[in-house]
Structure 1
Amino acid sequence: MADAGRGGGRADEELANVLERNIEALLARRRAEERRQSRTDRVAAAIGRFAGSMTFVYLHLAVFGAWVLANAGVLPVPRFDPDFVKLATFASAEAIFISTFVLVMQNRMATQADKRADLDLQVSLLAEHEVTRLIRLVAAIAERLGVDESRSPDLPELERDVDPERVLDRIERAEEKAGERERPGA
């Protein structure tokens, strides 16, 4: 006898359709967010992506290597920075700008992560609410049918809705207590 949950069939097609729909919705949302970005944000992101690439590393190896070899007298070209002050100034200015672009990208990524975390929280809260309702429904059916498990002492706790505010308050109190224990002299 074949297992109903395996081997393809309608359930797999429905799951594939849901996954496809979700992926398309996420990609469409990401494209829309990219279109709404200001020109400055797009330029900063492009520079940040380039600065974080191996092409950037290879380019710098070539340019700085040639600069050093030329000014050390190894290459047959006139020395234009024999004490490497120009190189140090250029590298310092570049580092300032690149770190700024990296910070801009990190801020943007943090904002996106916050949005995703909010979405995850909402989906989790909805799922928890739906599961709680299902537990109540199944418990009522089990009780009506006289199933022993319907009298389990765990059921009343599982049938209660979770209050996210109370959970957050509890987490904050636990973090405060942990912080007090870690502080010297506490």
Structure 2
Amino acid sequence: MAAADTRPRSAGDEPRMAGVIDRNIAALVRRRQEQKVSSGLEDQVADAITRFAGSMKFVYLHLLVYGGWIVVNLGSVPGVRAFDPTFVVLAMVASVEAIFISTFVMISQNRMAAIADQRADLDLQISLLGEHEITKLVTLVAEIAKRMDIPAAEDPELDELSKNVSPERVLDRIERPSSTSGEEG
């Protein structure tokens, strides 16, 4: 086991991380960049529009355009004739804009949901692998304890923890309506 980094640090020094952490971070950053590059033009356009529509620039632009439209059509600007005195055109423009912006937002959300699903699947795979490894370690340690006549080896929880977890059974149990925790199916 490696010794902890006990060197004195100045205010700007970051604590050192294990190489595996740096490697994992680099892999995640690389994967996100690959996904961004591999996304189609339509997705990139939808994301750009969604980013702009969610910005303060968008709000300021709308305050300027719609505010100016309203002021002009209320007859408040001398020498400028109202072109939409009933604001019907303004309502139509705002409605069409809302339809398109909400569509672009949904396109971006659908893509983000698909990416989130991929990450959740990866998390599940890693958790299952970790569970399997821990089960093997518990079995190995329990066997070592038995051979060394260590009393903890007779702990009933060790028996339960040394059994492999079936992901299908866990999912079935989660999907079933709640029942008492001690009940087996």
Matched, 1:39 2:36: no
Identify the residue that residue 59 of structure 2 maps to in structure 1: 57
Larger helix fraction of residues: 1
Rounded Cα–Cα distance in structure 1 between residues aligned with 2:102 and 2:94: 12
Counterpart secondary structure, 2:35: helix
Kindly provide the amino acid, as one letter, of the partner of residue 162 in structure 2: E
Q: Alpha-carbon deviation of 1:8?
A: 2.3
Rounded Cα–Cα distance in structure 1 between residues aligned with 2:3 and 2:63: 54
Identify the residue that residue 30 of structure 2 maps to in structure 1: 28
Q: Which one of 123, 131, 134 corresponds to residue 134 of structure 2?
A: 131
Rounded Cα–Cα distance in structure 1 between residues aligned with 2:144 and 2:99: 67
Q: Which one of 18, 21, 25 corresponds to residue 19 of structure 1?
A: 21
In the superposition, the TM-score normalised over structure 1's length comes to 0.85
Kindly provide the amino acid, as one letter, of the partner of residue 31 in structure 2: R
Rounded Cα–Cα distance in structure 2 between residues aligned with 1:56 and 1:133: 56
- Which stretches in structure 2 are left out of the alignment for 5+ residues? 7-14, 180-185
Rounded Cα–Cα distance in structure 1 between residues aligned with 2:141 and 2:60: 63
Q: How does 1:107-122 map to 2 (within 5 A)?
A: 107-122=110-125
Q: Deviations over 1:66-120 (max 9, x none)?
A: 1111111122322111111110110011011001101101110110110010000
Rounded Cα–Cα distance in structure 2 between residues aligned with 1:133 and 1:144: 17
Q: Alpha-carbon deviation of 1:48?
A: 0.9
| Identity score, percent | 55
Q: Which one of 75, 84, 102 corresponds to residue 87 of structure 2?
A: 84
Matched, 1:8 2:11: no
Kindly provide the amino acid, as one letter, of the partner of residue 120 in structure 1: D
| Number of aligned residues | 170
Matched, 1:96 2:99: yes
Rounded Cα–Cα distance in structure 2 between residues aligned with 1:136 and 1:84: 75
Rounded Cα–Cα distance in structure 2 between residues aligned with 1:73 and 1:6: 77
Rounded Cα–Cα distance in structure 1 between residues aligned with 2:55 and 2:18: 35
Range moving further from structure 2, 54-63 or 155-164? 54-63
- Which stretches in structure 1 are left out of the alignment for 5+ residues? 178-186
Rounded Cα–Cα distance in structure 1 between residues aligned with 2:119 and 2:133: 21
Rounded Cα–Cα distance in structure 1 between residues aligned with 2:54 and 2:18: 35
Rounded Cα–Cα distance in structure 2 between residues aligned with 1:16 and 1:63: 53
Identify the residue that residue 180 of structure 1 maps to in structure 2: none
Q: Alpha-carbon deviation of 1:5?
A: 8.9
Rate the CA distance shift 1:146–1:56 in 2: closer, same or farther, 3 A.
Answer: same
Kindly provide the amino acid, as one letter, of the partner of residue 47 in structure 1: I
Kindly provide the amino acid, as one letter, of the partner of residue 112 in structure 1: I
Off by >6 Å, runs of 4+ in structure 1: none
